[in-house]
Amino acid sequence: MVSAATTQINIKKVNADRITDTNDILAAEEPLEIKLEYGPATARKQKSLSVTMRTPGNDAELATGFLFTEGIISRFSDIKSITTLLENIVQVSLAEDINLDMAKLERHFYTTSSCGVCGKSSIDAVRTVCNILVSGDELRFPASLIYKLPDILRSRQDVFDSTGGLHASALFDVSGQLLLTREDVGRHNALDKLVGAALEEDLLPLDKYLLLLSGRASFELVQKATMAGIRIIAAVGAPSSLAVELAEESGITLIGFLRGERFNIYSNAERIDI
């Protein structure tokens, strides 16, 4: 499968003592510049907010999720329009009555596909204030269901099947139904796309769902999940120490090393029924 999210190249494949010419499909990685238009109708301003390396596709969702998880918008209606100016540039026009925290706009940073917090001067700078209200905390997930989730996600990772090179974020309800999934070369982009899609569909807060990460659980992903109201995060890979610390502080159940019929619970284990 070749799409905007993939690219095909010619390679030489070595197998023991044989070398053959063949084709390979790679996950596409291109820069996306997010521009912001804001202010009253009589004095609109523009600012280049961020450049991120991403897999093309779902760019509007990526921009929406990024603005939300960075605390720049609080609801989908804060966005007046999203326009693709060029292939790798999107402009988000905010509603005219939105009062921006200009300090947030000064966080103009370059983000690579492996780091969503590069350029931020300290850990304190990324401890975004979370204003989202969650409902009563009655969420419970049985371990027997959690064991099955990676295989369900894997069956829906179309681009990963072609390339083997993408991260995925997915939302599951308590019955194990997969509601949303997004892929990207950047794990933080995959989650921003997911949150952006959920914001568009008016699903926030996401306190009734489990977030599944196809890789490791980093601080930045837990921070973005906190902004979206997520209460349970399960990762196929390892969590970082700071991710565990933030999950504990935020009341999030954090699961790592979800493989087969085993996983580790690093914080707030009471939501998991064994």
pLDDT tens for the chain, 274 residues long, are 445 777 788 988 898 889 999 988 887 889 999 999 999 989 999 988 889 999 999 999 999 999 999 888 999 999 999 999 988 999 999 999 988 866 656 654 444 444 555 544 334 544 555 666 666 678 999 999 999 999 999 887 765 555 556 899 999 999 999 999 999 999 999 999 999 999 999 999 999 999 999 999 999 999 999 999 999 999 999 999 989 999 998 899 999 999 999 999 999 999 999 9
- pTM for this entry: 0.87
Structure tokens at 47: 């600012």
Structural domain boundaries in the chain: 30-124, 141-273
Decide if 167 contacts 11 (C-beta within 8 A): no
Class of domain 141-273: alpha beta
Catalytic residue among 115, 117, 134, 238: 115
Query: What fold is seen in the domain 30-124?
Result: Ubiquitin-like (UB roll) (3.10.20)
Angstrom distance (rounded) from CA 48 to CA 182: 25
> Is 118 tagged catalytic?
no
What angle separates helix 187-200 from helix 219-227, to the nearest 10 degrees?
10
